[in-house]
């Protein structure tokens, strides 16, 4: 029962449109503290997760997302509580009043593996010699218990102990590293709010290459792999500077590009960190654009995260358009040329779907990325470069660390200009392909 039954509680957030069985809208995680001990050779993980939470309604239980890992105990406020694992959900019994802050302490262990979903498996993945964690959109429960919904962002502290000789990279700032008895412990802190799918750990026999840039940037890769002047990462520092000038200050303390010794089908984004395969290091535009794309996600997708997966165009459309902006900045074809080329090849969405609701199975289809980029280009054409880049910078500044939606973006544009931009609506809300302006 609430403390004052005469004061109604605010409405709970809605479950995610595409992943309604992930996350629990009855509470919000406010901080994650993860302590992990991992053996590379046997892929065995022992973990403790301490989650600071806030009750968004009166509670008698909560549900955490956790896949294929066994829980040995749960404490709330330091006291053991009853719990049950049902599929990929950890049900925790706890009585809390609306607005209460409480701490959940979960001990768990097992052999982590990627979590299956509509787009395949995502999350903790063994490499030939190490680990890659890429959780978009549903893989976070593969390695820690969490409130797995993009609308619940929280700071993280991550401590990983593994065999000496392996480098551990994670989103955030490395606070401490020490070695004892042949094992090294790495402690990272990420103070900025982070969606669960954007938390990551990368483990491998890597060397660190600092990159001159306006903020601390490093490329972490196998020692013998060229990630310098003869690679797609040759202009990584220039990219950071170019995007800062167009999108505003870099939103985090550091940026790391991890290049695994294994080939990967696609790069993977995380907060303050992107992962690439060794096949993405070759010096070609097809790879360089991916380096730009993943970097742009630090502003669009990570600092600003869609509250609901149906608005994924706010991530991928902007990151795709950032490829074209980098092409301009690097002396290549202008964005208008890329736009015309991709417009001529753009596929229609599945029957009945629009950019703002592409459907679960189509949310990562190429038409979402390219139509999203063309929507951004349409805004630029409609308002001119000065207003366009000012809109982007003020949009990021106003929303950094939070969640966003299409409606909020349109409202921001209208507030900045003092008028709406009607040219955007067919691109967003109609299925048919609008004409591409000049």
286 in a structural domain: yes
pLDDT at residue 10 in the model? 82
Q: Residue 409, class by beta-carbon neighbours within 10 Å (0-12 exposed, 13-18 middle, 19+ buried)?
A: buried
Kindly report, residue by residue over 40-91, the tens digit of the pLDDT. Answer: 999 999 999 999 999 999 999 999 999 999 999 999 999 999 999 999 999 9
Per-residue pLDDT tens digits for 231-268? 999 999 999 999 999 999 999 999 999 999 999 999 99
Please indicate, yes or no, if residue 344 is contained in any of the structural domains.
Answer: yes
> If we measure between CA atoms, which residue out of 151, 152, 141 comes closest to residue 29?
152
Are residues 242 and 212 located together in one domain of the fold?
yes
Q: Are residues 424 and 374 in the same domain?
A: yes
Position 422 in a domain: yes
- Judge whether 166 and 205 are in contact, CB under 8 Å: yes
CATH of the domain at 235: 2.60.40.1730
User: What pLDDT, on a 0 to 100 scale, did the predictor assign at position 223?
Assistant: 94
Same domain, 76 and 202: yes
Higher pLDDT pick, 102 / 352: 102
End residue of a domain, out of 243, 270, 296: 296
What local confidence, expressed as pLDDT, does residue 1 receive?
41
Query: Is there a contact between 296 and 322 (Cβ–Cβ < 8 Å)?
Result: yes
Average pLDDT, the chain: 96
* Percent of the chain residues past pLDDT 90, beyond the cut: 96
405 and 379, same domain (yes or no): yes
211 and 345 share a domain? no
pTM of the model: 0.96
Residues 190 and 243 grouped into a single domain: yes
Same domain, 235 and 318: no
For residue 384, pLDDT over 80 is answered with yes
Judgement on whether residues 35 and 96 belong to the same structural domain of the protein = yes
The mean per-residue pLDDT over the stretch 6-21 comes to 86
Residues 280 and 152 in one domain: yes
Residue 89 structural domain: 28-296
Reported as a pLDDT band with limits 50, 70 and 90, residue 2 is very low
222 plus 270 within the same structural domain: yes
Task: Provide the CATH number for the domain around residue 384.
Answer: 1.10.390.10
Structure tokens at 240: 């950071």
Query: For residue 284, what are the CA distances in angstroms to 182, 264, 280, 394?
Result: 40, 16, 9, 33
Query: Is there a contact between 326 and 384 (Cβ–Cβ < 8 Å)?
Result: no
* Domain-located, residue 107: yes
DSSP labels, 164-214: TT-EEEESSEEEEEEEETTEEEEEEEEEEEE-GGG--EEEES-EEEEE-SS
Instruction: Let me know if residue 15 belongs to a domain.
Output: no
Contacts of range 240-245, beta carbons closer than 8 Å, 24 or more positions apart? 240/213, 240/214, 240/215, 240/295, 241/213, 241/214, 242/325, 242/326, 242/329, 242/330, 243/295, 243/296, 243/299, 243/322, 243/325, 243/326, 244/214
Phi-psi label, residue 195: left if phi above 0, alpha if psi -120 to 50, beta otherwise: beta
Asked if the structure places residue 178 within a domain, the reply is yes
Q: Are residues 251 and 318 in the same domain?
A: no
In a domain, 88, yes or no: yes
CB contact set of 409 (below 8 Å; sequence gap of 6+):
314, 395
Of 278, 296, 314, the position where a domain reaches its end is: 296
pLDDT score recorded for residue 226: 96
Question: For the segment 310-337, what is each residue's pLDDT rounded down to a tens digit?
Answer: 999 999 999 999 999 999 999 999 999 9
Whether 191 and 74 share a structural domain: yes
Number of independent structural domains in the chain: 2
438 occurs within a structural domain:
no
How large is the average pLDDT for residues 399-426? 98
For residue range 104-119, what is the model confidence (pLDDT) as tens digits?
Answer: 999 999 999 999 999 9
The residue from 241, 272, 296 where one domain ends is 296
Q: How far apart are CA 133 and CA 268, in angstroms?
A: 9
């Amino acid at each position: 029962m609430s403390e004052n039954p005469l004061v109604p509680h605010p409405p709970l957030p809605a479950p995610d449109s595409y992943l309604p069985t992930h996350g629990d809208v009855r509470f919000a995680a406010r901080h994650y503290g993860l302590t992990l001990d991992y053996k590379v050779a046997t892929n065995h993980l022992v973990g403790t997760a301490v989650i600071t939470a806030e009750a968004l309604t009166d509670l008698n239980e909560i549900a955490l997302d956790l896949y294929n890992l066994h829980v040995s105990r749960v404490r709330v406020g330091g006291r053991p509580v009853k719990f049950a694992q049902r599929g990929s959900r950890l049900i925790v019994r706890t009585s809390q009043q609306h607005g209460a802050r409480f701490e959940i302490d979960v001990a768990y262990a097992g052999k982590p593996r990627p979590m299956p979903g509509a787009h395949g498996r995502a999350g903790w993945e063994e490499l030939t010699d190490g680990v890659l964690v890429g959780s978009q959109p549903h893989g976070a429960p593969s390695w820690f218990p969490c409130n797995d919904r993009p609308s619940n962002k929280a700071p993280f502290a991550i401590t990983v102990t593994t065999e000496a000789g392996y480098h551990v990279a994670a989103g955030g700032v490395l606070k401490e590293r020490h070695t004892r008895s042949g094992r090294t412990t790495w402690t990272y802190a990420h103070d900025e709010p982070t969606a669960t799918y954007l938390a990551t750990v990368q483990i491998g026999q890597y060397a660190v290459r600092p990159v001159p840039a306006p903020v601390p940037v490093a490329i972490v890769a196998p020692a013998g792999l060229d990630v310098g002047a003869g690679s797609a990462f040759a202009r990584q520092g220039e990219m950071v500077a170019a995007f800062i000038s167009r999108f505003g200050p870099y939103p985090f303390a550091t940026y790391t590009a991890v290049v695994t010794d294994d080939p990967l089908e696609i790069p993977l984004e995380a907060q303050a960190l992107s992962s690439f395969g060794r096949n993405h290091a070759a010096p070609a535009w097809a790879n360089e654009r991916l380096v730009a794309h993943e970097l742009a996600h630090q502003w669009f997708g990570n600092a600003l995260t869609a509250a609901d997966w149906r608005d994924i165009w706010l991530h991928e459309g902007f990151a795709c358009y950032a490829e074209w902006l980098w092409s301009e900045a690097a002396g290549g074809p202008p964005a208008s040329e890329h736009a015309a080329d991709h417009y001529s090849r753009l596929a229609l969405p599945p029957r009945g779907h629009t950019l703002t609701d592409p459907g679960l199975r189509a949310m990562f289809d190429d038409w979402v990325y390219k139509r999203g980029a063309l929507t951004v280009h349409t805004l630029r054409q409609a308002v001119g470069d000065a207003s366009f880049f000012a809109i982007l910078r003020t949009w990021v500044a106003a929303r950094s660390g939070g969640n966003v939606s299409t409606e909020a973006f349109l409202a921001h544009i209208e507030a900045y200009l003092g008028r709406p931009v009607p040219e955007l609506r067919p691109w967003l809300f109609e299925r048919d392909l609008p004409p591409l302006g000049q």
